[in-house]
Amino acid sequence: MIMSNTECVPLEQVFPALLSRLPLQEDMEENKTVFSCLAFLYSNKPAMVVSNMKAIVSACSQTLGAKGLDTDTQNTMLQLLRDIAQHHTQEFQGAVMSLPTEKRAILTAAVTQS
């Protein structure tokens, strides 16, 4: 619904609720929709994504390499992270540094890999 009719969705309430339910624990196929939605929002409302950077980076770090994560979804997630890292370097680095060491290493390696 966020992607099809953004203006009719109360994003101030819906977006934090979505983020609070990440990473997904069940129905991993829904990651495709979730990360497509995050990429869409970043393209259309980047300030909203940047202001929730820590939660997004945390969810991505926990989802990377998860069983059932298809290649398209992983590529969408990595492209989102790379775009954020390039255009919002300071905020991105702050969010990455808040991760546990192991998750930080996995995410950093994935984002810097070409």
Residue 21 lies in a domain: yes
Question: What spatial distance separates the first Cα and last Cα of the chain, rounded to whole Å?
Answer: 32
Confidence of residue 80 (pLDDT cuts 50, 70, 90): very high
Instruction: Record the tokens describing residue 4, joined without a space.
Output: 């099809």
Residue 44 lies in a domain: yes
Residue 51 lies in a domain: yes
Map residue 59 onto helix, strand or coil: helix
Map residue 68 onto helix, strand or coil: coil
Q: What is the pLDDT of residues 25-72, one digit of tens each?
A: 888 889 999 999 999 999 999 999 999 999 999 999 999 988 888 999
If phi > 0 it is left, if psi is from -120 to 50 it is alpha, else beta; for residue 70 that is beta
Q: Domain containing 72: what range? A: 6-112
Checking if the pLDDT of 113 tops 90, the result is: no
Q: What is the pLDDT of residues 6-16, one digit of tens each?
A: 777 888 898 99
Average pLDDT over every residue of 58-87: 93
Confidence at residue 114, expressed as pLDDT on a 0 to 100 scale: 61
Residue 101 lies in a domain: yes
Confidence at residue 67, expressed as pLDDT on a 0 to 100 scale: 82
Residue 1 lies in a domain: no
Map residue 45 onto helix, strand or coil: coil
pTM for the whole thing?
A: 0.90
Count of domains forming the chain? 1
